[in-house]
Structure 1
Amino acid sequence: MQTIRVALAQMAPALGQLEANLSRHHELLEQARGEGADLVVFPELGLTGYLLQDLAGEVAMRLDDPRLAGLTAATEGLSAVVSFVEESADHRLFIAAALLEDGRLAHVHRKLFLPTYGLFDERRFFAAGDVLRAVPSRLGVGVGLAICEDFWHLSVPQILALDGAQILINVSSSPGRDLAATNEVGLGT
């Protein structure tokens, strides 16, 4: 397997501020491109912020949203995994992660396992995905996407590997103590 340079876009998205977060994604894509990255991975709900609750419908995007198309176009010569609230054709909301490559949307994974414990109440606001697939990528390997809680279930990485994934990418956002902001600890998955 060839060497793949991965950039982790460790950012603290502004809650509900889609335009500001989109702008930051564009900046980080250009920075990663300039530093020779092949793949840029953004956090779970990096385009919207995580604890959205009732804001979810306001920041949801369909896959044909021009803002997502603009971000997709910015991946020419690059692969990126971005995460957002996806609104389906039947108006259900999903926590989604998309593989964007060479200016095209290559794959979308909808979070399968929605936590409902502690401060997590995702099932109240989101629908669960029902498809798990690996996809070929411009990186020359199969890629499997998962989102946070999905990886707590052993079947997910096993199924992705059996489906051809050679790289497993799990995007996650969890409440923390703002350690990343102090530059003492880099947090990434």
Structure 2
Amino acid sequence: MKVALIPMRVEVGNFEANWREFEKRFEEALKHDPDFVVFPEYCLTGFNEWDFSGAKLYDEIVERVSRLAREAGVYIVFGLLEPYKNCVYNSALLIGRNGEILLKHRKFQEPMKFCTGNTVKTAKTEFGKVAIIICGDLYNKRIAKWIRRKRPDYVFMPMDRSPWGEFNLAEEVDDMGRRVAFLGVRTFIVNSFGHWDSFGGAWVFDADGTLLASTEGEKTLLWEEQL
């Protein structure tokens, strides 16, 4: 199983520029024959508090990404804003090799004005069961309970994390590892780059929280899982 984690450069509110970057990085990743290509949280629109206008592009985004997945025959994981009735979810999708939506996760750990998710689902692939969580969900106790109950083989986590307070990246990564150990599942994490001051990077953690591989900035992380 080959995974490409892409810390994509994101411009807030500039869908067409983000789409060009998405396609470019996707085509670059295909040279390595991946099975999964993973992008960050709301990577095609960015998000500026509390501007939910990017949610209007949900259907177009799904159509475009599904086409890429179908044409390349790969799985794509990515985040986007999802409109629902009078509110918006911060969601992430797993698109299958045939372009269908196999899995949708709605983020738990969000402040007011977002709708929030209340469950974790899994999808079956030829590599085992996979689940998706988003950024701050890693620090949510309810999420941890769902993951331990569902027992996926892999977790994919798009994020859009920017430094705040007394930020230390090494400490941040150590903390992510401790949280992954609480889930007890091999976890693939990718952060956006350039959205405000998002620092990019991608990480693969073993089920016990050990850091197995990482990249910095906007460099793609390529991981091959021996099954």
**1:79–1:15 CA distance, 2 compared to 1 (3 A):** same
Give the counterpart of 1:134 among 119, 122, 137.
Answer: 122
**Identity in percent:** 21
- Greater relative contact order (Cα 8 A, min sep 6): structure 1 or 2? 2
Counterpart-to-counterpart distance in 2, 1:151 and 1:11 = 20
Give the drift of 1:36: 1.3
Counterpart of 1:67?
61
Deviates most, 19-28 or 32-41: 19-28
Counterpart-to-counterpart distance in 1, 2:67 and 2:31 = 17
**4+ residue runs of structure 1 moved beyond 3 angstroms?**
176-181
The one-letter code sitting in structure 2 at the alignment partner of 1:37 is P
Deviates most, 151-160 or 161-170: 151-160
Counterpart-to-counterpart distance in 2, 1:129 and 1:178 = 24
Are 1:25 and 2:4 an aligned pair?
A: no
The 8 Å contact of residues 129 and 154 in structure 2, kept in 1 or not, is answered as yes
Counterpart-to-counterpart distance in 1, 2:12 and 2:25 = 18
Counterpart-to-counterpart distance in 1, 2:100 and 2:60 = 13
Counterpart-to-counterpart distance in 1, 2:143 and 2:50 = 29
Give the drift of 1:127: 1.2
Q: Where does 1:79-98 land on structure 2 (aligned, <5 Å)?
A: 79-88=75-84, 90-98=85-93
Counterpart-to-counterpart distance in 2, 1:164 and 1:180 = 28
Kindly provide the CA deviation profile for residues 6-49 of structure 1, in whole angstroms up to 9, marking residues without a partner as x: 11111221001122212222222222112111111111111111
Counterpart of 1:117?
none
Counterpart of 1:101?
96
The one-letter code sitting in structure 2 at the alignment partner of 1:79 is Y
Q: Where does 1:1-189 land on structure 2 (aligned, <5 Å)?
A: 4-50=1-47, 52-56=48-52, 58-61=53-56, 65-76=59-70, 77-88=73-84, 90-102=85-97, 103-114=99-110, 122-123=111-112, 125-137=113-125, 139-176=126-163, 180=200, 186=216
Kindly provide the CA deviation profile for residues 37-81 of structure 1, in whole angstroms up to 9, marking residues without a partner as x: 11111111111114x11321x110475x13321211101210111
TM-score (norm 2): 0.67
More strand as a share of residues: 2
**1:179–1:135 CA distance, 2 compared to 1 (3 A):** closer
Kindly provide the CA deviation profile for residues 114-162 of structure 1, in whole angstroms up to 9, marking residues without a partner as x: 1xxxxxxx32x3111122111112x421111001111112442442243
* Aligned-partner SS, 1:165: coil
- The Cα RMSD (Å) is 2.4
Kindly provide the CA deviation profile for residues 146-179 of structure 1, in whole angstroms up to 9, marking residues without a partner as x: 0111111244244224324100112111114665
TM-score (norm 1): 0.79
